[in-house]
Amino acid sequence: MRAEPAISARLPSPLLLDVTRSLRRVRHKRPSGIDRVERAYLDFTLDQRGHVLAAIGERYYRLDTKGARTFAAFLDGAGHKLDLTALLRPDRHRRMRAGEALIRRHAIASGPLAEIATGAAAYLNVGHLGLGPVEMTALGARRVTRIAMLHDLIPLEHPEFTRKDSPAEAEARLTGACLADVLLTNSADTAERVRDQALARGLPLPPLRALPLGIDPPAPRDAPAPDGAYVLCLGTIEPRKNHGLLLDLWQEGGLAADLHVAGRRGWCNAPIFERLDRRPESVFEHSDLSDGQISALIAGARALVLPSFAEGYGLPLAEALALGTPAIVSNLPALREVGRDVPEYLSPTDHEAWRRAVRDYTTDTPRRADQIARLQSWRPPLWSDHFAGLQGFLLDHIAGQRRRS
C-alpha cells in the first residue's frame, strides 16, 4: 500500500504516531482494515516530518524520522536482522521479533508513554491499542495534544459477535478516546454511534470529525482468477460477517457459481470453521493471500457478497467497486456511505433475497448490468482527501486553541 496524502499545509511538528498495532500484527501476511489505516497514517506522519513510537511489553520506544522510515520499509516486506534480545524470545513469531529488534535498535528514547511523548505537537493513535483512560490521562497531564480514531463500537453494541473480554476492552477504548483533544471516526455512522454511547455513559465528547478512509487498490497480479463463475466473500471469518447464510445457500444447491471465502479465521466461530473443514461442494477457502492475489480474486468475481450483521466502514466494498466488481451487501448505514447508490442492499437475514440476488449476478442479467452501469459514476475514496480533511480540521482546532489562550 502506498498512501499519498496531499500536503496543503504542514502541521506543527513533531507529530507522534503510535504504531504498536502494526508491530504486533506483522506476523499476518495480509493486513486488516485498521492495519491499513495505521500504515497510511505512517506515510502521513513521515510526510509531516513526524516521529513514531511503539510499545514492547510495558515500555514505549520512540523513533526518529530515519527509524520510522526503516520501520515503514519493514512493514512493506524489507528484512531485518534479529538482535540478541530478540533471539532470546523464541516463543514469539520470528517476524514480530525482528520488528521489535528494529524498534529497539532505532529508538532515540524509551520509557513510559507520557514521558517520551512530551514535546510532541500531537500524539496520534489510530490503531485502537493503548487507547485507554490511563494512557490518555497521563498524556493530558503532560499537555500533549491527543488525537484518537475509533473505527467501530461493535463489541459494545453486539457483544454476541465478539470474545468475552472484547466489550470491556471496547469500553476502556471509548472512555480513553473521549478524553482525547480530537476524536476521529471512519464514517458518519460510527461518529453517530460514538455520540450515542458517550452520552449514555456521561462521557465528555471532544471535537469529533468523521473522515472516510481512503483505499489504494493494487492492480490484480500474482495469480490468475479461478476458472468458472464465482462470487467472493472477503474479510475475517468471524461471527458478525454472517458466513453461515452463504454456506446455507451453497449447501442447498441450485446456484450456478462457486463461492470463494477469502480471509483468515477469526474468533468465536467454531461451527463455521467445522463446516469449512468439511470442504463443502463448490466452496473454496483462502487465507493469508497477498494483496495482488486478493485483487485478482476480486476482479474476477461475478460479485462481492458481504452479508454482515455489523460494519464500521467497509473497505472490501470500496476495493471491489474500485476494481469494477459489483457487490451484494447488507443494508447497513456504514456500507451505504461507501457504496452510495451502487450495490444491492439486502437484509442480512433475508435468505431468499440473497438466493435470488446471487442467482441473478452469476449470469448476465439486466439486474447485474444495471449495477455495472451505476458503477460508472462511483468514485473511490482517496487517502489524499482523507488527509486534506484531517489537516484542515486540525489546523482549525489549533487556531481555536490559540484564540482561547
So what's the pLDDT on residue 199? 96
Q: Does residue 224 have a cis peptide bond before it, meaning omega lies within 30 degrees of 0?
A: no
**What is the model's pLDDT at position 237?**
95
Among the listed residues 227, 211, 267, the one whose alpha carbon sits nearest the alpha carbon of residue 394: 211
Query: Measuring CA to CA, which residue among 24, 157, 124 is closest to residue 135?
Result: 124
Please give the pLDDT value at position 26: 85
Contact 371, 345 (CB under 8 A): no
* pLDDT score of 311: 96
Give the model confidence (pLDDT) of 140-160 as tens digits: 999 889 999 999 999 999 999
Query: What does the pLDDT read at residue 378?
Result: 96
Q: Strand pairing of 303-306 and 230-234?
A: parallel
Hunting for cell 454511534 — which residue is that?
193
Q: How many helices (H) and strands (E) does the chain have?
A: 18, 14
In this prediction, residue 11 carries a pLDDT of 64
Q: What is the pLDDT of residues 111-127, one digit of tens each?
A: 999 999 887 778 999 99
Alpha-carbon span 257 to 284, nearest angstrom? 11
Q: In terms of DSSP H, where are the helices of 362-382?
A: 366-375
Q: Which residues fall within 8 angstroms of residue 220, CB to CB, at 6 or more apart? A: 292, 295, 296, 298, 299, 300, 323
The DSSP 8-state label assigned to residue 121 in this structure reads S
pLDDT at 27: 79
Q: What is the pLDDT of residue 92?
A: 57
* Nearest partner of 222 among 316, 288, 319, 295, judged by Cα: 295
> Which residues in the chain land under pLDDT 50?
1, 3-8, 84, 86-88
